[in-house]
Amino acid sequence: MIYRDFQDLKLSALGMGCMRLPVIGGDDARVDEDAAAEMVDYAMANGVNYYDTAWGYHSGNSELVLGRALARHPRDSFYIADKFPGYDLSNMPKVQEIFEAQLKKCQVDHFDFYLFHNVCEMNIDAYLDPRYGIHDYLMEQKRNGRIRHLGFSCHGNLPVLKRFLEAYGKDMEFCQLQLNYIDWSFQNGREKVALLDSHHIPVWVMEPLRGGRLARLSEAESAPLKEMRPEEPVPAWAFRFLQSIPSVTMILSGMSDMEQLKANVATFAEDKPLNDEETAAIAGIADEMIASSALPCTACRYCTAHCPRHLDIPELIKLYNEHRFTGGGFIAPMVVGTLPEDKRPSACVGCRSCEKVCPQQIKISEMMKDFAERLKA
C-alpha cells in the first residue's frame, strides 16, 4: 500500500468508501454485515487505514456496520470519517443531535475526519446561515478534540465552491470532490482543483470510477490503453489518472465485494502516474465518451436572447448532458430543484425561437421536453 502525507499523518492512498457495501437481496438497507466485516478485515490487513461513512449511506446502516467492524481493531490503527447530512435541509437545526448519534453508531469518542456533506446549490444558503450554527458547532467539537480534522464534500458548481471557501475556507483542511478523467472537464474538475490549490486545501476523491462506468470501457475505448500498458486492468487507469494530480491525497472507492477490494489493493501497491502520452489518450477517451451522449452546446448564448421565458438554456443543456451521461443520478435534479418553477425545463413553451439562432442546430425544445420528463421519473 502506498501512503500520502497529510499534516502529521500517513494516510493510505486508497480509502474504503462505505456507501456501496455488499447487501442482501438487492436491498440497499440490508447490509451483508459478515461480508462487510470480512472486507474491512482484509483492507486493514493490507494497509488501508481510512474508512469513510455517512448518515444516509445504506439508509443509516453504514455507520452501524462500519462501527462494529472497526471496533474489533485497535482504535489507533485506523482513521474514520463521517459527515453532517446537510443534503437534507430538515437536518440543519439538528447538528448536535446528529453528531452525538453518529459517535454512538460508529462506537468512537471522536472522528478523525468530519465533513460538511454535499455542499451544493440546494443547501449553500443554509450551510452559511448563522441561525443554524453548524460551522460554529463543528469548530467547537474540533477544539474539544472530538473532530480531529474538518473538511467538506462538494457536488456544487464552481460558484458554490467559491462561496463556501470565501466563508469557511480558512477552517477547512480538505475537500472531497467527485473527480475522475470524465469530470476533469465535464464537471469542471480541473478548475475546482485549481481553486482548492489556491487555498492550499488538499483533495479527497469520490467517484473515481464514475459509478463504475470507467471500469466498464468498451473494447474500442480500452484498446489504446491496453497497447500502452498491457498489464494494467481497465479500472486501474482511473486511479493512475488521479495519482497524476499532485493535489490528490485520498482516493475513496466504494467497493461492493471482495473481488473489487482485492483488485484495488493490488493497484495501490505502487504509484504509477500517467505520462503525457497516456494522459492525452485518457483525455481523448473521455472526450469521445462525453460527445457520444452530450448535446454539442458551446454556450454561445445566442439562444437566451430569443427565449420568451428567459431560460438559462446553456446551463440547462449542461445539466441535461450530465443527467443523460450518468443515466439519472441526483446532481441534475438537485440543481434544477433550486430553480424557480418558471426557470425549469418544464417552463419551455416550445416556440423554437432559440433553435432558429443556434449555430449547433440543437433541437432545444425537444431537449427541454425530454429533460422535464426525465426529471419526473
pLDDT at 293: 79
Kindly report, residue by residue over 211-244, the tens digit of the pLDDT.
888 998 889 999 999 999 999 999 999 999 999 9
Considering the domain architecture, whether residues 110 and 214 belong to the same structural domain is answered as: yes
Question: With pLDDT > 70 as the criterion, what percentage of the chain qualifies?
Answer: 100
Query: 262 in a domain, yes or no?
Result: yes
Kindly report, residue by residue over 92-150, the tens digit of the pLDDT.
999 999 999 999 999 999 999 999 999 998 899 999 999 999 999 999 999 999 999 99
Query: 157 in a domain, yes or no?
Result: yes
pLDDT at 322: 87
Query: 294 in a domain, yes or no?
Result: no
pLDDT at 328: 81
pLDDT at 165: 98
Q: What is the 3-state secondary structure (H, E, C) of the chain?
A: CCEEEECCEEEECEEEECCCCCEECCEEEEECHHHHHHHHHHHHHCCCCEEECCCCHHHHHHHHHHHHHHCCCCHHHCEEEEEECCCCHHHHHHHHHHHHHHHHHHCCCCEEEEEEEEECCCCHHHHHCCCCCHHHHHHHHHHCCCEEEEEEEECCCHHHHHHHHHHHHHHCCCEEEECCCCHHHHCCHHHHHHHHHHCCCCEEEECCCCCCHHHCCCHHHHHHHHHHCCCCCHHHHHHHHHHCCCCEEEEEEECCCHHHHHHHHHHCCCCCCCCHHHHHHHHHHHHHHHHHHCCCCCCCCCCHHHCCCCCCHHHHHHHHHHHHHHCCCCHHHHHHCCCCHHHCHHHCCCCCCCHHHCCCCCCHHHHHHHHHHHHHC
Considering the domain architecture, whether residues 362 and 228 belong to the same structural domain is answered as: no
Task: Inform me whether the pLDDT recorded for 186 exceeds 90.
Answer: no
Task: Inform me whether the pLDDT recorded for 308 exceeds 90.
Answer: yes
Considering the domain architecture, whether residues 50 and 98 belong to the same structural domain is answered as: yes
Domain C-terminal end among 252, 283, 314: 283
Query: Mean pLDDT, to the nearest integer, of 347-359?
Result: 91
Confidence at 170, pLDDT banded by 50, 70, 90: very high
Query: 187 in a domain, yes or no?
Result: yes
pLDDT at 114: 98
pLDDT at 325: 85
Considering the domain architecture, whether residues 257 and 324 belong to the same structural domain is answered as: no
Task: Inform me whether the pLDDT recorded for 359 exceeds 80.
Answer: no
Query: 99 in a domain, yes or no?
Result: yes
Best mean pLDDT range from 166-170, 286-290, 330-334: 166-170
The mean pLDDT value of the chain amounts to 94
Task: Inform me whether the pLDDT recorded for 296 exceeds 90.
Answer: no
pLDDT at 292: 81
Considering the domain architecture, whether residues 150 and 257 belong to the same structural domain is answered as: yes
Considering the domain architecture, whether residues 186 and 123 belong to the same structural domain is answered as: yes
Domain C-terminal end among 248, 283, 318: 283
Task: Inform me whether the pLDDT recorded for 305 exceeds 90.
Answer: no
Question: Domain limits at 84?
Answer: 3-283
Considering the domain architecture, whether residues 199 and 279 belong to the same structural domain is answered as: yes
Confidence at 360, pLDDT banded by 50, 70, 90: confident
Considering the domain architecture, whether residues 49 and 161 belong to the same structural domain is answered as: yes
Kindly report, residue by residue over 246-294, the tens digit of the pLDDT.
999 999 999 999 999 999 999 999 999 999 999 999 999 999 988 887 8
Query: 335 in a domain, yes or no?
Result: yes
Give the CATH number of the domain where residue 197 resides: 3.20.20.100
Kindly report, residue by residue over 14-46, the tens digit of the pLDDT.
999 999 999 999 898 999 999 999 999 999 999
Considering the domain architecture, whether residues 34 and 136 belong to the same structural domain is answered as: yes
pTM of the model: 0.86
pLDDT at 154: 95
Query: 97 in a domain, yes or no?
Result: yes
pLDDT at 184: 94
Query: Mean pLDDT, to the nearest integer, of 305-331?
Result: 90
Quote the number of domains for the chain: 2
Considering the domain architecture, whether residues 238 and 275 belong to the same structural domain is answered as: yes
Kindly report, residue by residue over 50-102, the tens digit of the pLDDT.
999 999 999 999 999 999 999 999 999 999 999 999 989 999 999 999 999 99
Query: 289 in a domain, yes or no?
Result: no
Considering the domain architecture, whether residues 188 and 271 belong to the same structural domain is answered as: yes
Confidence at 298, pLDDT banded by 50, 70, 90: confident
Phi–psi pair at 84, nearest 5 degrees: -85, 125
pLDDT at 211: 82
Considering the domain architecture, whether residues 326 and 252 belong to the same structural domain is answered as: no
